[in-house]
Amino acid sequence: MRRLIVSDIHGNLEALEAVLRDARGEWDQMICLGDLVGYGASPQQVISIVREHAAAVVRGNHDRVCAGLDDDDWFNAAARLAVRWTRAALDGESLHWLSELPTGPLYFEGFEIAHGAPYDEDEYLVSDDDVDYVAETMERPLCFVGHTHLQRVWDLSGVEPRRLSVPGTGERESRLTIGAESVLLVNPGSVGQPRDRDARAAYALWDSDARELILRRVEYDIAGAQRRIREAGLPDFLAARLAHGQ
């Protein structure tokens, strides 16, 4: 089975469409790690596409707050404004669908998915120290998480976490063949609001038969996504940051 793994789309239709174009013919099933909405100006369209294609979705913190399951007072000002705008922009059915998204982790044959961490959907796994004990909380040898908007892969099979390569500036992809003994924590990065100083949309492909993991970046119509954000009257900062990937 070949899976397309996407996370943190955040209402960015232009980025999601670029990912789908780029990965066309390379996957059988889409898996989404949450935060479909918030920040970007196309939440309704993004939800429609994910609902059409994804075999499994876990909720993110923005999905949870947008659906009214949590207060927004712990969000920063821009995120709070975006959540309120998004809530008003979504139809009732989409809001209901968001409210019913499961909390991770969800388990599959050979892998699991969560938004932040397997033990806490809101945990940010950024540094090697952050992931030191994550393997002990995993039920499968491969775990996909999002939330940080940073494309990262750690091999957790040794004494210390070891970072594996992801595509650098100007590189399209990293291909990793995964050994049967590996224990991997994979963040595919953010489709719609990358924060690793690379403005390109990020995603991953996992072929469980070939045991090949691909981390990929693809350029998208950033100007178009920015235009929609500004036309929606969302904070300009949310448009500007897309060009810098942070």
- Min. distance of Cβ 157 from Fe ion in angstroms? 28
What is the token pair recorded at 246? Answer: 């942070």
Cβ closest to Fe ion, residue 8 vs residue 112: 8
Would you say 148 and 126 are in contact if contact means Cβ atoms under 8 Å apart?
Answer: yes
Q: Which is nearer to Fe ion, 148 or 178 (CB)?
A: 148
121 interacts with Fe ion by CB under 5 A: no
Under the binding rule (CB under 5 A), the answer on residue 35 touching Fe ion is yes
Shortest CB 160 distance to Fe ion, Å: 27
Residue nearest to Fe ion (CB): 35
Looking at the Cβ atoms of 3 and 62, the one nearer to Fe ion is 62
CA atoms within 13 A on the CB side of 19: 32
Size of the site for Fe ion (CB under 5 A): 2
- The answer for residues whose C-beta is within 8 angstroms of residue 239's C-beta and 6 or more apart is 225, 226, 227, 229, 230
**With binding defined as CB under 5 A, does residue 8 bind Fe ion?**
yes
Which among 141, 95, 96 is positioned nearest to 118, based on CA atoms?
141
123 lies in the binding site for Fe ion (CB under 5 A): no
- State the nearest-atom distance from the C-beta of 190 to Fe ion, in Å: 6
Q: Please report, for the chain, how many H helices and E strands are present, in that order.
A: 7, 12
Picking from 102, 99, 89, 97, the residue whose alpha carbon sits closest to that of residue 44 is 89
* Residue 36: CB minimum distance to Fe ion, A: 9
Residues that bind Fe ion (CB under 5 A): 8, 35
